């Protein structure tokens, strides 16, 4: 087995039978997304991911990045990889043809992005941040800025970054201190940003920073933050590059994982910048980018899980250790029941996460192409509800999956040689950046559930019930298990809606358990949909073992993974009681 093989069959089944790709291809403007075109794009992306990107993963981890003479030096192979990515037009799939995009569905870019992240997650962050920047500029910037910056960002000739975090402003961006002052038609931006992913490098000829800063006399808090576009090199009227702007990487962080992704402290010293959107509305503009990025980070969870699974599976076939039950000869460890438990846990969590992520992304396309305001609102609310689940749950399960990947390797998993440890280290950032999972959970219970009185969640619950009701008779037992879990989610919804008014601490106290419960239930729903699709394809004469494996995967998930919902449901019943019981003094009372 090669280092990484894209799971094309699972990607296609998910696109076609979960995320509604064939229906999307009927929408005006998406005619090019025919089944043949989708297949061709996925096949070619899979080749590039396997042959070009994946071989750089280990080397990137070992070489890391350095700041030398004011320049960020990346692993040697990255320049060539980025060049091929750019020349292949991979960054332009889903964007507006007016700015050089290919006008394909956003959904189609998702399996492609999954492949980059599986192949090399640290490298994949570079195009991922650029895509978020494109979206932010496309939706919020003036026509002039769009004309000047979008074509080069979309082609990949320039890269984008996202500059929110400061030393004192992480989860709470209301206290951002970076400043901007008007200067003729432009602005001058000053301040220091930390943890900026791919904040500087030489892979692209220019870098477009999107920076949150305060205008003079801006009100305190989130309503006083504006968004600025600050290029590394100024751009002349004819589009050519001009002077170097006064923005630079001051230092690089030394991190647990993603060693080849430069995480920069960025200094802006009266740098020329351009306002994006309205003054003091910067956070709202940045949210367009953050929503995209949150889905992408959830997808990274799926990607790294897939890579860890493939590696563990290969090892489980190769490693000979002890005879399996009923045999005398030592055999590969895949024959041992506990190893199978771990492999199936990895496989089914990954496939469930993939389906939730693709489905959420598909809803964004359906919203964009909706025939009515009502349809648009439904799809938008569905995507918005699923976003914190994709980000939160898919990155939490990535911790378990990559840890199991280490476990399956035994002692060899703990040493760096096999690469299993790298996936585990790399995955650890996912619950932290792009809004910690604590913040995602609060978003799910607050903005996405309490704010609309549970409307979007109730619609999703109905969708799950109807999927369970329409299940093929051969999957009745699994459908019943799902129905039970859906009822558990419904009860959790009611507990939240009924209890929040009387106990202000309730939403925050139950948020994480609520998010995990919702994630496991959504995972069961999606695996059941996939298993149903597999039954139909088998009935139509397809004898691919992938399809029968999908049915068995659903059976395993319902029996061995889905029941976790009960634990989360029981824990959230406790409300804020035990969580908030200890005084701050009591926390440290044991050693004081």
Q: Which stretch binds ligand FAD (CB under 6 A): 164-172, 416-424, 512-520, 521-529?
A: 164-172
Tokens representing 335 are: 């024959």
| Contact predicate 111/144, CB 8 Å | no
- Residue 22 contacts ligand FAD per CB under 6 A: no
Q: Active-site residue 434, yes or no? A: yes
Q: Catalytic: which of 351, 379, 396, 434?
A: 434
571 lines the binding site for ligand FAD (CB under 6 A): no
Looking at beta carbons only, is 100 or 438 nearer to ligand FAD?
438
The answer to whether residue 165 forms part of the interface with ligand FAD (CB under 6 A) is yes
Question: Integer distance in angstroms from the first to the last C-alpha of the chain?
Answer: 56
Q: Is 432 in the site for ligand FAD (CB under 6 A)?
A: yes
> Which residue in the shown chain puts its C-beta closest to ligand FAD?
170
Give the binding range for ligand FAD (CB under 6 A) out of 160-168, 183-191, 331-339, 560-568: 160-168
- Contact between 312 and ligand FAD by CB under 6 A: the answer reads no
**163 Ramachandran zone, left/alpha/beta (phi>0; psi -120 to 50):** beta
- Residue closer to ligand FAD by CB (options 108, 208) is 208
| 438 contacts ligand FAD (rule: CB under 6 A) | yes
Q: Report the C-alpha gap between 376 and 298 in whole angstroms.
A: 23
Buried b (16+ CB within 10 A) or exposed e, 277-312: bebbbbbebbebbbbbbbbbbbbbbbbbbbbbbbbb
Q: 165 or 513: whose CB is closer to ligand FAD?
A: 165
Supply the minimum distance, in Å, between the C-beta of residue 198 and ligand FAD. Answer: 7
The residues in 263-282 that bind ligand FAD, with binding defined as CB under 6 A, are 263
Task: List beta partners, residue 212.
Answer: 227
509 binds ligand FAD (CB under 6 A): no
* Among 231, 92, 83, 108, CA closest to 155: 92
CB of 172 to ligand FAD, least distance (A): 6
List CB contacts of 393: < 8 A, sequence separation 6 or more.
298, 353, 356, 515, 516, 518, 519, 520, 522, 523
State the number of binding residues for ligand FAD (CB under 6 A): 20
For residue 171, state whether it binds ligand FAD (rule: CB under 6 A): yes
Site for ligand FAD (CB under 6 A): which residue of 112, 133, 196, 467? 196
Q: For residue 152, what is the enclosing H or E element? A: helix 143-155
Q: Residue 433: beta bridge partners?
A: none
Nearer to ligand FAD, 55 or 508 (CB): 508
Residues 6 or more apart whose CB falls under 8 angstroms from that of 358 comprise 14, 15, 18, 19, 107, 110, 111
When asked if residue 95 is in the footprint of ligand FAD (CB under 6 A), the reply is no
Q: Does 170 bind ligand FAD (CB under 6 A)?
A: yes
**Residue 433 near ligand FAD by CB under 6 A:** yes
Whichever of 297 and 569 has its CB closer to ligand FAD, that residue is: 297
Give the binding range for ligand FAD (CB under 6 A) out of 77-85, 89-97, 193-201, 574-582: 193-201
Rounded Cα gap, residues 401 and 347, in angstroms: 8
Phi, psi at 187, each rounded to 5°: -135, 165
Under the binding rule (CB under 6 A), the answer on residue 436 touching ligand FAD is: yes
User: CB 169 → ligand FAD: shortest distance, Å?
Assistant: 7
Nearer to ligand FAD, 224 or 332 (CB): 224
For residue 249, the minimal CB distance to ligand FAD (Å) is 12
At residue 268, the 3 state secondary structure works out as strand
Alpha helices in 446-563 (DSSP H): 455-469, 476-499, 506-539, 545-556
Q: Is the Cβ of residue 135 or residue 359 nearer to ligand FAD in the bound state? A: 135
Q: CA–CA separation, 65 vs 163, rounded Å?
A: 19
Q: Which is nearer to ligand FAD, 169 or 527 (CB)?
A: 169
Contact status: 155 vs ligand FAD (CB under 6 A): no
Stretch that binds ligand FAD, among 163-171, 283-291, 301-309, 334-342 (CB under 6 A): 163-171
Helix axes 106-119, 282-318, angle to 10 degrees: 50
Q: Indicate which single residue of 38, 271, 304, 429 sits in contact with ligand FAD (rule: CB under 6 A).
A: 429
Paired with 266 in beta bridges are 193, 249
86 and 16 Cβ atoms separated by less than 8 Å: no
Binding residues for ligand FAD, per CB under 6 A? 162-165, 170-171, 195-197, 255, 263, 429, 432-436, 438-439, 442
Residues acting as catalytic residues: 434
């Amino acid at each position: 087995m090669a280092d990484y093989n894209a799971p094309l069959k699972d990607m296609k089944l998910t696109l076609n039978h979960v995320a509604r790709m064939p229906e999307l291809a009927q929408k005006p403007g998406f005619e090019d997304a025919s089944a043949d075109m989708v297949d061709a794009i996925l096949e070619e992306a899979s080749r590039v991911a396997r042959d070009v990107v994946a071989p750089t993963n280990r080397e990137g981890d070992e070489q890391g990045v350095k700041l030398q003479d004011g320049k960020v030096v990346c692993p040697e192979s990255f320049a060539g990889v980025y060049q091929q990515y750019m020349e292949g037009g991979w960054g332009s799939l889903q964007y507006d043809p007016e700015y050089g995009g290919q006008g394909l569905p956003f959904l189609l870019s998702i399996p492609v992005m999954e492949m980059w992240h599986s192949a090399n997650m640290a490298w994949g962050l570079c195009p991922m941040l650029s895509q978020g920047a494109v979206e932010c500029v496309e939706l919020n910037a003036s026509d002039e800025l769009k004309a000047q910056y979008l074509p080069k960002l979309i082609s990949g000739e320039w890269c984008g970054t996202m500059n929110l975090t400061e030393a004192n402003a992480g989860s709470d961006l209301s206290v951002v201190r970076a400043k901007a002052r008007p200067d003729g038609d432009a602005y001058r931006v000053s301040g220091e940003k930390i943890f900026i992913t791919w904040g500087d490098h030489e892979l692209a000829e220019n870098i477009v920073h999107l920076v949150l800063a305060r205008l003079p006399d801006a009100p305190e808090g989130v309503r006083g933050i504006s968004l600025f576009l600050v290029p590394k090199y100024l751009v002349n009227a004819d589009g050519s590059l001009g002077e170097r702007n006064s923005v630079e990487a001051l230092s690089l962080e030394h991190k647990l994982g993603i060693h080849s992704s430069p995480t920069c402290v960025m200094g802006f010293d009266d740098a020329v910048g351009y306002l994006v959107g309205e003054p003091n509305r910067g956070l709202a503009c940045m949210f367009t980018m953050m929503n995209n990025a949150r889905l992408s980070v959830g997808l990274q969870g799926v990607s790294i899980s897939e890579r860890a699974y493939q590696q563990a599976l290969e090892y489980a076939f190769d490693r000979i250790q002890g005879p399996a039950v009923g045999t005398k000869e030592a055999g590969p460890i895949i024959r041992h029941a506990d190893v199978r438990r771990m492999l199936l846990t990895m496989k089914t969590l990954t496939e469930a996460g993939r389906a939730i992520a693709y489905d959420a992304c598909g809803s964004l396309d359906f919203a964009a192409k909706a025939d009515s305001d009502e349809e648009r609102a439904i799809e938008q609310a569905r995507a918005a509800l699923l976003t914190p689940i994709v980000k939160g749950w898919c990155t939490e399960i990535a911790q378990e999956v990559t840890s199991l990947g280490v476990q399956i390797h035994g002692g060899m998993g703990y040493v760096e040689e096999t690469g299993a440890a790298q996936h585990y280290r790399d995955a650890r950032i996912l619950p932290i950046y792009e809004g910690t999972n604590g913040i995602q959970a609060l978003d799910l219970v607050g903005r996405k559930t309490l704010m609309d009185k549970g409307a979007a969640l109730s619609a999703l619950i109905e969708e799950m019930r109807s999927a369970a009701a329409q299940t093929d008779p051969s999957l009745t037992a699994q459908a019943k298990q799902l129905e039970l879990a859906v009822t558990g989610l419904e009860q959790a919804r009611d507990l939240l809606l009924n209890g929040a008014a009387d106990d202000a601490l309730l939403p925050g106290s139950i948020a994480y358990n609520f998010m995990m419960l919702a994630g496991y239930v959504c995972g069961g729903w999606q695996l059941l949909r996939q298993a149903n699709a597999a039954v139909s394809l088998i009935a139509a004469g397809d004898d691919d073992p992938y399809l029968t494996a999908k049915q068995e995967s659903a059976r395993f998930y319902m029996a061995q993974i889905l029941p976790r919902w009960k634990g989360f449901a029981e824990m959230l019943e406790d409300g804020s009681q035990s969580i908030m019981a200890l005084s701050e003094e009591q926390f440290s009372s044991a050693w004081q």
